Amino acid sequence: MSEPVRSTPGSLPLSRLAEPLLRRLSELLDRAAPGKGWRDLAQRAGSRGRVRLSPLDLEQCSLKVLEPEGSPSWSLLKLLGDRGCTVVELVEFLQALEHTEALQCLSHSGSLIGLPENKLRICIQPQPQNLMVGDALVLECGAVGNPIPHYQWFRNGFPLANGSKNVYMVTYADVEHQGTYWCHVFNDREDQDSKKIEVVIGRKAMAVECAEEDLSDLQKPADLQEQSNDRPVATDKVALLIGNMSYWNHPQLKAPMVDVYELTNLLRQLDFKVVSLLDLTESEMRNAVDEFLLLLDKGVYGLLYYAGHGYENYGNSFMVPVDAPNPYRSANCLCVQNILKLMQEKETGLNVFLLDMCRKRNEYDDTILILDALKVTANIVFGYATCQGAEAFEIQQSGLANGIFMKFLKDRLLEDKKITVLLDEVAEDMGKCHLTKGKQALEIRSSLSEKRALTDPIQQTVSSAESLARNLQWAKAHELPESRYLEFKCGVQIQLGFAAEFSNVMIIYTRIVKKPPEIVVCRAYVTDFALDLDVDPKEANKGTPEETGSYLVSKDLPKHCLYTRLSSLQKLREHLIFTVCLHYEYPGIEDTMDERKEVNVGKPLIAKLGLHHGFKNNNCLQTCCMANNPFHNQIESSPVATKYYVPSHCQPNSCPGIYHPNHICSDSIRQLEACSCNGTSRILASRHEVQNYSPPVEKSNVPVETTDDTVELEFLLSDNLRFSKQQ
């Protein structure tokens, strides 16, 4: 009789875990930050292959929010357990999501005892690839361990700039991407290399049969034959992203901050030059658009995304600056169609507008703009977050928020598909969302006749004057001050570092790197900032980034520092000059000693472009306004086809856990009711304008860049090659 096989706790199915532990994990996943929630766990588990999750499965999990004590995460964990998912697999998924709390919960419960001393172990090895030019290259490496492992991909012995995640992806592979790949996995205690695999990329061979009378078609010039088979290319790809939240005279918004952050990271993966800006006044918005237009040229792909308050009158859409009066009119806002006309004059290869705003009628604005006719081009794509006359919503949960449009767009933006096809699929995804059925539906307007995609490769003219000018202009908006060390007379050495959250938001972090042993107490902080930046001393020099309002920045910054957040860098008129103050004490001496050093870091990030100046060339103001004119719809007169996407069910949603916006007279405040679903407040709020509103003050930001290495700062390769984070 054979002895029964004993399984370690790590290999047990999730269904065998104690119910209190599953409940605790569910709570952590339900209230997790974006990128670490139950849907992200489901996506990670579904990509494994063995655990199949259908859209119906996810819909059933999502509907649990309608039950008094329902939990989507609880439903998902039970589903994974029923399908054989093990504890060790769950650990892999949570580590890939960097969900530290959930991992600690499992560790403290003893569920990871089966993993030998929590040692670093590679569970998923990368697999060889044999691809054709144009295919997507996707390599995955999975590891478990305590502390959480980090990753660095290599090709032919060299570290890859964008290879610091467990999945390495190239959306459009070319012959230059073939070679020998492996992944170096490491934490503070140990490191391992995955197995080395070969990636082979060849060109597609085409066999052609034709009749004798068709041979004449083969006499075309060779370059024309190749052009008919090749995908479109861009001479460059640039994007301007604006998120307005902190309105002076109108309701505050939350989602634009997260939406702009997530779209920035996605577009950079597609090789877009991105300028991302938060909370711009009218003059700053107009000047930002003018700077964006300077980046455009023949064949360039231009993308403009706006999230904030907005409205639509007579077919023209208007973006509302943060300083717009109450009530506002077209003269206080930016007309989208006029910007499109200016973009067309640059002979761009593709113009994409993504407008995440309401499109309700502005009853205070009777002005009709008479614009010059748009050119007949085949390169215009509008993605409206909502239909004409309707509102756009944002979901607020766990202190953060996503707009409904971006919530679904971000899941598909990296797909290698024609942009209109991609937006079609986003529209279908939105139509299935039970929160907004009958309230918000994506509308697409397009004149695109070519198979243009955001993933199209860039084929620049080598060393052209236009290309050099674009790169210089873009680089200006992304220059951070270099990290520096300050030596004080007492022997203390302080490091100053700088990180960019957005193109106009920067964090300064300070830490003491050397202190003489005779000094017992030592503290350094920054102060005396220009009044333009409006730095609140109560939110400066904090022990964690979250205390400054930067809730998602911790993982990208060095630890054990003091952090200060500087926003509205576009308002900076002179060099950024501030003071570093050092307080220290000697043993036996009651008096505190002080030293001060003034620091000048020039004009960081967007401050170099001088957006605070008055209107530079008034491109956006060149319109003729006529009040009470007959109806004029510029878009309908342009060669742009219109599609409307309406959810299949148009009944108002009755979920008690969301806001129900009831539109009333616009000179009254909208009454909203909120309810807590299973202890977590989920709010569906409108971005529609509300008059006579006194906005609360809220600040929050998300990082994208830093001048210092963070995780990589501690990682020194065996051949003493130090690599830094891709900016």
The one catalytic residue among 309, 433, 561, 620: 309
Q: Are 9 and 113 in contact (CB under 8 A)?
A: yes
Report residue 131: phi and psi, to 5°: -120, 165
Active site residue 522: no
Determine the distance from the C-alpha atom of residue 121 to the mean position of all C-alpha atoms in its chain, rounded to a whole number. Answer: 31
DSSP 3-state of 137 = strand
What sign does the dihedral 714-719-724-725 (CA atoms) show? negative
Contacts of 706 (CB under 8 A, 6+ apart): 480, 497, 498, 499, 500, 556, 557, 725
Measured in Å, how far apart are the chain's first and last C-alpha atoms? 62
How many Cβ atoms sit within 10 Å of the Cβ of residue 667?
A: 11
DSSP annotation of 149 reads P
Token couple for 646: 């309406």
Q: Which long-range contacts (CB under 8 A, 24 or more apart) does 478-483 make?
A: 478/503, 478/605, 478/705, 478/727, 479/604, 479/605, 479/608, 480/506, 480/604, 480/605, 480/705, 480/706, 480/707, 481/576, 481/601, 481/602, 481/604, 481/707, 482/707, 483/707, 483/708
Contacts of 638 (CB under 8 A, 6+ apart): 373, 374, 380, 447
Short-list 240, 248, 239, 285, CA closest to 611: 285
Q: Are 339 and 290 in contact (CB under 8 A)?
A: no
Q: Are 503 and 477 in contact (CB under 8 A)?
A: yes
β-strand partners of 66: none
Rounded Cα distance between 405 and 383, Å, is 9
Active site residue 649: no
Burial class for 210, CB neighbours closer than 10 Å (0-12, 13-18, 19+): exposed
The DSSP line for 382-450 is EEESS-TT---EEEEETTEEEEHHHHHHTTTTTS-S-HHHHHHHHHHHHHT-TTTTTT---EEEE---S
What sign does the dihedral 186-191-195-197 (CA atoms) show? positive
The one catalytic residue among 61, 335, 358, 620: 358
Report residue 26: phi and psi, to 5°: -60, -45
Burial class for 623, CB neighbours closer than 10 Å (0-12, 13-18, 19+): middle
Q: Are 79 and 114 in contact (CB under 8 A)?
A: no
Short-list 240, 227, 232, CA closest to 293: 240
β-strand partners of 202: 132
DSSP annotation of 456 reads P
Rounded Cα distance between 588 and 680, Å, is 52
DSSP annotation of 609 reads G
How far is residue 405 from each of residues 334, 391, 413, 441, measured CA to CA in Å? 21, 12, 12, 9
**Residues identified as active-site:** 309, 358
